[in-house]
Amino acid sequence: MSKLKDLEWLFNGRHFDREVIVLCVRWYVRCKLCLRDLVEMMAERGLSLAHATILRWVKRYTPEFVKRWNRLATTAGRSWRVDETYVKIRGKWAYLYRAVDVGGKTIDFRLSARRDAAAAKAFFTKAIRTQGRTPDTITLDGYAASHRAVREMNTDGSLSGRTKLRSSKYLNNLIEQDHRHIKSRLNVMLGFKRLRNAAIILSGIELMHRIRKGQFDLTSVHLKDTTSPGLDGVLSAR
């Protein structure tokens, strides 16, 4: 993990207070709001903002929030339910690979321009790196490329070699239901123009989803409200 930047340096030179920036970023990735909704909400508070300014803040600060929160992330279970959903980018479909454990905790996600064995392998590799361990079981739908990716990774040692592969539409209802929380936020955005920007914004949406699920150990951070800490709760924690 890269070294975290100093908090004062991070917001240095901005024309608006840190609290305003954090609030706009938090609301954008958490609530079903478009950029122009936020512009109007800030105008009601006497602040004149352009929607492009808020988008720049989202792209600039979301990765920093994710890095700070990930220091407190807890490990998910070893029974993975994996599925892909669709995200529209410049009028074309991209593929959002996601996985949850048997308890519904988010394991990881990855946005890909393709849906094939290589994309599935890239997702599994990222998820293993994030969790720090390989799964005992991976449950997939019937898409052949994902099954091939798991078999090849079991053979080449990328997985433990003992990872069980299952195919079950019923068992994967859990991940399909979990997609809904992400998709409901994306629907308001009406698509993206760039894959990179989409990946950054999705990382913020996924972060807020993990916070709601309680996937972080907040015992080492002094918060007034640990039940709903938001994005800004651990910003200044070292």
Are 170 and 151 in a shared domain? Answer: yes
> What are the tens digits of pLDDT across the range 136-194?
999 999 899 999 999 999 999 999 878 999 998 788 899 999 999 999 999 888 779 99
Query: What secondary structure does DSSP assign to 69-85, as a single string?
Result: HHTTBPP--SEEEEEEE
CA nearest neighbour of 204 among 31, 71, 20: 31
Are 63 and 126 in a shared domain? Answer: no
Confidence at residue 12, expressed as pLDDT on a 0 to 100 scale:
77
User: Is residue 207 in some structural domain?
Assistant: no
CA nearest neighbour of 98 among 87, 89, 233: 87
Q: Please report, to the nearest 10 degrees, the dihedral formed by the alpha carbons of residues 149, 67, 36, 185 taken in order.
A: 40
Question: For residue 215, which phi and psi values (nearest 5 degrees)?
Answer: -95, 25
Are 172 and 222 in a shared domain? Answer: no
Confidence at residue 122, expressed as pLDDT on a 0 to 100 scale:
98
Whichever domain contains 101, its CATH number is 3.30.420.10
> What are the tens digits of pLDDT across the range 12-41?
777 888 899 999 999 999 999 999 999 999
Are 34 and 68 in a shared domain? Answer: yes
Residues in CB range of 177: below 8 A, 6 or more apart: none
User: Is residue 201 in some structural domain?
Assistant: no
User: Is residue 204 in some structural domain?
Assistant: no
Please say if the pLDDT value at position 236 is more than 50. Answer: no
> What are the tens digits of pLDDT across the range 105-128?
999 999 999 999 999 999 999 999
Owning domain of residue 141: 79-182
Maximum distance among all alpha carbons in the chain? 61
Are 45 and 91 in a shared domain? Answer: no
Please say if the pLDDT value at position 8 is more than 80. Answer: no
Are 112 and 167 in a shared domain? Answer: yes
User: Is residue 144 in some structural domain?
Assistant: yes
Confidence at residue 1, expressed as pLDDT on a 0 to 100 scale:
44
Tell me how crowded residue 24 is: count the other CB atoms within 10 A of its CB: 25
Q: Rounded to an integer, what distance in angstroms lies between the CA atom of residue 176 and that of residue 190?
A: 21
Are 96 and 157 in a shared domain? Answer: yes
Return the structure tokens found at 195: 């894959």
216-236 average pLDDT score: 62
Range with the poorest average pLDDT among 46-60, 118-132, 224-238: 224-238
Question: For residue 87, which phi and psi values (nearest 5 degrees)?
Answer: -135, 130
Q: Considering the chain, what is the average pLDDT of its residues? A: 89
Number of domains in the chain: 2
Are 132 and 154 in a shared domain? Answer: yes
Confidence at residue 161, expressed as pLDDT on a 0 to 100 scale:
79
Are 166 and 100 in a shared domain? Answer: yes
User: Is residue 189 in some structural domain?
Assistant: no
The CA-CA-CA angle for residues 47, 10, 131, to 5°, reads: 115
Are 19 and 90 in a shared domain? Answer: no
User: Is residue 223 in some structural domain?
Assistant: yes
Confidence at residue 196, expressed as pLDDT on a 0 to 100 scale:
95
User: Is residue 209 in some structural domain?
Assistant: no
> Contact, 104 vs 213, CB < 8 A?
yes
4: number of CA atoms within 13 Å, CB side?
Answer: 18
Q: Rounded to an integer, what distance in angstroms lies between the CA atom of residue 191 and that of residue 214?
A: 28
> What are the tens digits of pLDDT across the range 65-88?
999 999 999 999 999 999 999 999
With 0-12 / 13-18 / 19 or more C-beta atoms within 10 angstroms meaning exposed / middle / buried, residue 50 is exposed
Are 86 and 170 in a shared domain? Answer: yes
User: Is residue 143 in some structural domain?
Assistant: yes
Q: Rounded to an integer, what distance in angstroms lies between the CA atom of residue 226 and that of residue 238?
A: 17
Q: Return the CA Rg of the chain.
A: 19
> What are the tens digits of pLDDT across the range 89-110?
998 999 999 999 999 999 999 9
Please say if the pLDDT value at position 3 is more than 70. Answer: no
Q: Rounded to an integer, what distance in angstroms lies between the CA atom of residue 101 and that of residue 62?
A: 25
| Cα dihedral across residues 138, 139, 142, 143: positive or negative | negative
Are 132 and 177 in a shared domain? Answer: yes
